[in-house]
């Protein structure tokens, strides 16, 4: 089996091997005397040590850097948003709880290596007659701020399955049918999910591919989604990127450095029920198809009215700068920003981490594109559900979008150290 080796090395050694804050490239690591995994382990420890500042927020100083894998919360939620996404939802095929636990441990070990920029086992030094353990397409690439984030879907807590039925959090609700939804079951749901974010698409794709490979027989990929353009930032000093409609959306997103807001709206608190989730979060994933061609034929005024922001600067109606405080009453009652704003939803706030997607064209020659929406919140009922109830009923944008995929996951707390593993608080 693909048992990834655990990075296990003293801090001194680790610091020395990475030479400070810049993590080594995959090729550089392999080149160090051919010791392969042993040195790889040192570098992994190093990458973790380099960012071990007590916070799980990694500096986005360099696109090639590694983001710490260990921490109180999982990386990939409040972490500065990377450029690319590969998101995969899995069905659990095994009926054996121990086998599922073993898989989660194997996945954790592999994730630890990959987020440090290392391959999962041999790439070209193995048995010639057998396939290599790691597929190798990320060899020579930098860690690229890869984060891997796991979530547990409602199905995992079903009765008579893994003995977890008493542990399903109340906040992990089955999403109601919202008006206008046209959900494809083949793009919805899942027992497990892994969100891979990186600045290099090949690094993100590689990571999901290795996990899927390790998982064959125990889990099967149900659906997956590639994303290419982040549509919101989690760093306040960054310009908000534009979505496929050409608008800045998500300007008011929770900042990854705003500890108070994260504690209030994103991280599950100790008293929230389901103790195993403390430090975790809840994820809602929605594949939102945009009717690109009709949008492109919509007048500029209507486009701006629909969003409640201007197209050039992204300033709210009546204001001049993107980050100026919006005056909601100046916007049309059905404008997107007005309806999505916390003030319109009793303060409901989510952390958005969506990406644009384009999956070529549909059979009618229309661009199959839109927003792969990822929202993290402390309680799905008070976050996404509260906001979407309002939006799905009233949002002027609905004429140009359709929700075609949907899933919800409980995202457990972070992996604390090299002995910890994804889901320990739930299964142990």
Partner 1 sequence: MRPARLTVLAAAAAVAALTAVTGCAEKSDKGGSDAIHVTATDSACEVSTTDFPAGKVSIEVENKGSKVTELYVLFPDDRIVAERENIGPGTKATIAAEIKAGDYLFACKPGMKGDGIRTKVKATGKGSAEKRSPELDAAVAAYRKYVQEQADATLPKAQAFADAVKAGDLEAAKKAYAPSRLGWERTEPVAESFGDIDPKVDVREDGLEAGQDPAKDWTGWHRLEKSLFQENKIDDNDKKLADTLITDLTAWQKKVGEAEITPTSMANGAKELLDEVATGKVTGEEERYSHTDLVDFKANVEGAEKSYELLKAVTAKNDPELAKQLDTQFAALNTLLDKYRADKNTYEFTSYDKVGETERKELSDGVSALAEPLSKLAAAVAK
Outline where 309-423 has alpha helix (H): 336-340, 386-394
Q: Does 38 bind partner 1 (CB under 8 A)?
A: no
Task: Kindly indicate which of the ranges 8-16, 127-135, 173-181, 280-288 contains the residues binding partner 1, using the contact rule CB under 8 A.
Answer: 127-135
**Residue 318: strand, helix, or coil:** coil
Tell me the window of 71-79, 128-136, 161-169, 275-283 that interacts with partner 1 (CB under 8 A): 128-136
Q: Binder to partner 1 among 59, 64, 126, 136 (CB under 8 A)? A: 126
422 touches 81 (CB < 8 A): no
Q: In angstroms, give the least distance from the CB of 38 to partner 1.
A: 14
Is residue 330 part of the contact set for partner 1 (CB under 8 A)? no
**Conformation bin of residue 280: beta by default, left when phi > 0, alpha when psi is -120 to 50:** beta
Please report whether residue 220 would count as binding partner 1 according to CB under 8 A: yes
Task: Report if residue 213 touches partner 1, rule: CB under 8 A.
Answer: yes
User: In this chain, which of 53, 217, 236, 273 binds partner 1, going by CB under 8 A?
Assistant: 217
Binder of partner 1 out of 130, 177, 270, 428 (CB under 8 A): 130
Contacts of 281 (CB under 8 A, 6+ apart): 73, 74, 77, 266, 267, 268, 351, 376, 377, 378, 411
* Residue 137: partners with Cβ closer than 8 Å, 6 or more residues away: 202, 205, 206, 209
Q: Of all helices (H) and strands (E), which one includes residue 306?
A: helix 300-307
Q: Give the residue with the Cβ less far from partner 1, 122 or 322.
A: 122
Q: State yes or no: residue 33 binds partner 1 (CB under 8 A).
A: no
Tokens of 301: 């005024």
Rounded to a whole number of angstroms, the minimum distance from the CB of residue 213 to partner 1 is 6
Pick the piece of the chain touching partner 1 (CB under 8 A) from 103-111, 121-129, 137-145, 196-204: 121-129
- Judged by CB under 8 A, which stretch of 212-220, 239-247, 286-294, 308-316 contacts partner 1? 212-220
CB 339 within 8 A of CB 394: yes
Beta-bridge partners for 88: 194, 224
Site for partner 1 in 87-106 (CB under 8 A): 91, 93
Subset of residues 170 to 209 that bind partner 1, contact rule: CB under 8 A = 186
Residue 217 exposed, middle or buried by CB count within 10 Å (0-12, 13-18, 19+): exposed
The least distance separating partner 1 from the CB of residue 141, rounded to whole angstroms, comes to 24
Residue 321 in contact with residue 204, Cβ under 8 Å?
no
Q: Is 129 in the site for partner 1 (CB under 8 A)?
A: yes
Give the shortest CB-407-to-partner 1 separation in angstroms: 17
Residue 278 CB, shortest distance to partner 1, in Å, is 34
How many binding residues for partner 1 (CB under 8 A)? 14
How, if at all, do strands 219-227 and 355-361 pair?
A: unpaired
With respect to partner 1, which residue has the nearer C-beta, 186 or 270? 186
SS (H, E, C) 331-349: CCCCCHHHHHCHHHCCCCC
Examine residue 327 and tell whether it contacts partner 1 (CB under 8 A): no
* Residues near partner 1, by CB under 8 A: 1, 91, 93, 126-127, 129-131, 186, 213, 216-218, 220
């Amino acid at each position: 089996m693909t048992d990834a080796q655990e990075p296990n090395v003293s801090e001194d050694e680790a610091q020395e091997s990475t030479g400070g804050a810049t993590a080594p490239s995959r090729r550089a690591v392999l080149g160090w005397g051919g010791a392969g995994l042993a040195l790889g382990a040192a570098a992994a420890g190093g990458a973790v040590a380099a960012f071990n500042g007590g916070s799980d927020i990694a500096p986005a100083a360099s696109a090639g850097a590694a983001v710490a894998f260990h921490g109180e919360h999982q990386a990939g939620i409040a972490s500065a948003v990377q450029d690319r996404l590969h998101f995969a939802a899995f069905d659990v095929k095994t009926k054996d709880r121990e086998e599922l636990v073993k898989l989660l441990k194997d996945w954790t070990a592999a994730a630890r290596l990959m987020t440090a920029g290392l391959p999962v086992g041999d790439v070209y030094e193995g048995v010639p007659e057998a396939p290599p353990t790691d597929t190798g397409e990320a060899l020579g690439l930098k860690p690229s701020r890869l984060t891997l984030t796991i979530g547990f879907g409602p199905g995992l807590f079903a009765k008579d399955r893994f003995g977890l039925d008493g542990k399903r959090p109340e906040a992990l609700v089955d999403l109601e049918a919202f008006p206008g939804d046209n959900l494809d079951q083949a793009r919805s749901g899942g027992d497990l999910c892994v969100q891979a974010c990186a600045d290099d698409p090949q690094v993100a794709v590689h990571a999901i591919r290795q996990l899927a490979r390790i998982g064959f027989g125990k889990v099967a990929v149900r659906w997956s989604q590639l994303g290419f353009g982040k549509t919101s930032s989690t760093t306040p000093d960054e310009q908000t990127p534009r979505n496929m409609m050409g608008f800045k959306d998500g300007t008011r997103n929770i900042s990854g450095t705003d500890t108070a807001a994260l504690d209030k709206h994103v991280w599950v608190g100790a008293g929230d029920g389901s103790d195993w989730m403390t430090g975790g979060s809840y994820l809602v994933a929605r594949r939102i198809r945009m009717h690109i061609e009709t949008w492109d034929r919509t007048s500029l005024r209507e486009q701006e009215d629909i969003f409640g922001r201007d197209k050039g600067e992204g300033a709210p109606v009546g204001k001049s700068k993107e980050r100026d405080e919006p005056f909601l009453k100046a916007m049309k009652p059905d404008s997107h920003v007005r309806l999505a704003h916390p003030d319109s939803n009793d303060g409901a706030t989510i952390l958005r981490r969506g990406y644009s997607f384009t999956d070529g064209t549909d059979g009618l020659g229309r661009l199959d594109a839109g927003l792969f929406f990822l929202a993290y919140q402390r309680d799905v009922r008070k976050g996404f559900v509260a906001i979407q109830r309002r939006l799905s009923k009233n949002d002027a944008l609905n004429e140009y979008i359709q929700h075609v995929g949907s899933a919800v996951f409980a995202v457990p707390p972070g992996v604390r150290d090299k002995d910890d593993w994804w889901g320990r608080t739930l299964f142990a």
